[in-house]
Structure 1
């Protein structure tokens, strides 16, 4: 499983729904149900003020499923969200190892 941060805001329609049903029980259940349907797990669910109204941390099998969550929820018209892949310290070490190999082989445009 891979960890993802999903963050976003509600549209005007989404805010009306949130005002009608609240944010705890029904929203959390609906979110968990959608994530579970594609083999994932909701790990954390937070609301915030600012540019984003909500932040979720989820475990999902892969990027295909993470993108599916974003596509499904954004197509509802109630939210606009983005998904960010979360990388562990151990993964960043492996990424750095691979990046150092690529640096020597990469040719910038125009050179």
Structure 2
């Protein structure tokens, strides 16, 4: 399973739907959407300011994460952004690799 940080903003009718349904029903809708791609919700928080909702979910692979993001964003009611998360061990493994690269102009 891969972990993703998600940030979402309600847009237009999405705001009206949130106000009508309430926060727990929208969270439940996220749980059901994640189940449809064999994922699970780790955390879910409402916020205010630049971002309306933040949280973390587990999902089997990138294809399922992108499919879910595309489906949610296609509604026009929510603007969802995903960020893949790495463990400290993932970063250790990356730091041991030695890719080659030439900087611009060098």
1:7 maps to what in 2? 7
Deviations 1:64-99 (A, max 9, x none): 11111111100011100100001111111111112x
Greater fraction helix:
1
Give the number of aligned pairs.
106
2:104 maps to what in 1? 109
Deviation at 1:56, TM superposition (A): 2.1
Deviation at 1:109, TM superposition (A): 3.1
| Unmatched runs of 5 consecutive residues or more in structure 2 | none
Give the superposed CA RMSD.
1.0
- State the distance in 2 between where 1:36 and 1:95 align: 30
| 1:73 partner SS | helix
Please report the TM-score for the alignment, with normalisation by the length of structure 1. 0.90
Consecutive aligned runs of 4 or more in structure 1 exceeding 4 Å deviation: none
- State the distance in 1 between where 2:26 and 2:88 align: 32
| Unmatched runs of 5 consecutive residues or more in structure 1 | none
Pairing of 1:64-83 with structure 2 (within 5 A) = 64-83=63-82
